[in-house]
Chain A
């Protein structure tokens, strides 16, 4: 199996004619971490629900771990680990009880299931909290338990739907580490949805950007950024009256770019190597600088380029609606 996930023309239309997913193609290689990036309501969760057999596609085909999601749903379920949005965990059960139950759901023999449960509790750092009810866990602990639950049966493909939404930065980084380690040590294919650019950038080998139910860009983060092109150099002159002169110098290195007030910016044609020459030219012109910043193109720039709107701004704006459960976004 070279490709863990193959999706062709996948569609999901809800009652009322809303096309949450509108004909997407995906090829995720075995052992890859694939990041599915997009704002709220872009179709990420709907795609994951179809790939995890929770929702029937209304068009197209999808295979996961070599099995068709519609006609071989049982085999798909045996091969996948799923951690859905909001860490759906029974608050009245303890972490240990849930892990044992999950092992039973996957028909893992008792002794093996118990051993695997302990191993995972240890691994995600919940061994001390194992006998506490999940209702008392912090958000980060729930996500880690959710991840452990998804790994009980050593799945071939792991689906993580917005695994760090609502987590504090420390917990987020800890979860990233865990996903990286898992991918590296066990070669588990990871399909991750996120609305955070940084998350996609940090974790994913390849990124698919989805907006309005369609994939608008796909590639490695570096490739996508390279498509946007040159880095931006931002110069803040020490003396504000020299701003105009500084802009004049910069224009010889490439087209000017938007920036903050009191500063001037240029898209560096020569790339990063051009900085030295710019600094020298400014020095020759007698312009002293209070600040020099180099901005590599970000995935956000890619997003803006392809969709015409910003991702992070949208994500923040929609944060109030984050309490929404995946279920409800199914209309």
Chain B
């Protein structure tokens, strides 16, 4: 294994360990999506089928599962940014920067760790939903598509977290962006279909890439394997990743050059 690859994987392992050893980091990303999933299912579980425009579903839980998965990835992204900022604040970043370790390993390791954690989370949420009676129309293939997309989604979201960390250098400032992530989700079809929205709210949700991303994943669960929809999700993930990871890389370079 090349030193750079080994360094990336070792630093990723450190990030994963750090997350597991700090319950405040992973607990919210599991707890809040579960609570919302439970509340929405309890509130709309029986009436959803009667809402005009609501897609035909097997049960509300099947519909809500994707929302929980995406929400979990978003919360973890904030966490990843927070950890990265803490590394800058605490000086661990300087330790890496003053060592001959691969420069890209510093950034990529954080994203790899995020992918791993997001994949675990997606499996967890899916398992919980299935236990409580949700169904996946796409079967094993559909489930795998959703899990893989969730893992990949961690790249642009983690990239955004790291970008904020590099720009602010403060864990608190990164945590402070949390409401923004939430707003992004609420003004999308993460929790409810766009068909049930009206007016400006629908316009915003229509424009919000998160809507199309989530729908591409949800399609696999409530309708069946749909490669075209998965392709749309993947394209959005790639587009966002180019922006956020590219921005992170630029800012990392600036910081490494000590110009900030």
Q: B-contacting residues of A (Cβ < 8 Å)?
A: 49, 52-56, 74, 77-78, 80, 82, 84-93, 97, 101-102, 104-107, 133, 149, 325-327, 330
Contacts and interface: CB of A to CB of B under 8 A. Distances in A.
A84 B91 contact: yes
Given A90-B14, A90-B18, A105-B96, A325 B91 contact: yes
Contacts of A104: 3, 6-7, 10
Contact of A101 (B10, B21, B100, B169): B10
B90 A90 contact: yes
Contacts, number: 85
B82 to A, nearest CB: 13
B101 interface: yes
Contacts of B132: none
A77 B6 CA distance: 18
Interface in B9-38: 10-11, 14, 17-18, 21-22
Interface residues of B, number: 28
The prevalent SS among residues of B at the interface is helix
B89 interface: yes
- The residue in A55, A91, A107 that gathers the most chain B C-beta atoms within 10 A of its C-beta is A107
B95 interface: yes
Nearest to B105: A105
Nearest to A74: B100
B99 interface: yes
B14 A53 contact: no
6 contacts: A56-B258, A82-B94, A86-B91, A88-B94, A107-B3, A327-B88
B21 A92 contact: yes
A77 B95 contact: no
B14 A101 contact: yes
A101 B10 CA distance: 7
B259 A88 contact: no
A53 B17 contact: no
B100 A77 contact: yes
B182 interface: no
Contacts of A105: 7, 10, 96, 99-101
Interface in B98-131: 98-101
Contacts of A80: 98
A56 to B, nearest CB: 5
B99 A106 contact: yes
Given A90-B18, A92-B17, A133-B21, A55 B92 contact: no
Contacts of B95: 82, 84, 88, 102, 149
A93 B19 CA distance: 11
A93 B90 contact: no
From A52, A93, A326, A327, name the one whose CB has the most chain B CB atoms within 10 angstroms: A327
Nearest to A12: B258
A93 B22 CA distance: 11
B166 to A, nearest CB: 13
Contact of B90 (A52, A53, A88, A97): A88
B206 to A, nearest CB: 42
B99 A54 contact: no
A101 B257 CA distance: 24
Which of B17, B92, B258 has the most A CB atoms < 10 Å from its CB?
B258
Given A77-B98, A84-B95, A84-B98, 7 more contacts: A82-B95, A90-B14, A91-B90, A92-B17, A133-B21, A325-B89, A326-B94
B184 interface: no
A93 B96 CA distance: 15
Interface string B162-195: 0000000100000000000000000000000000
B197 interface: no
A97 B10 CA distance: 10
Contacts of B238: none
A88 B88 CA distance: 10
B97 interface: yes
B18 to A, nearest CB: 4
A56 B91 contact: no
A326 B17 CA distance: 27
A53 B259 contact: no
B98 A52 contact: yes
Interface string B247-260: 00000000001110
Contact of B11 (A49, A74, A101): A101
A46 B14 CA distance: 29
A90 B97 CA distance: 15
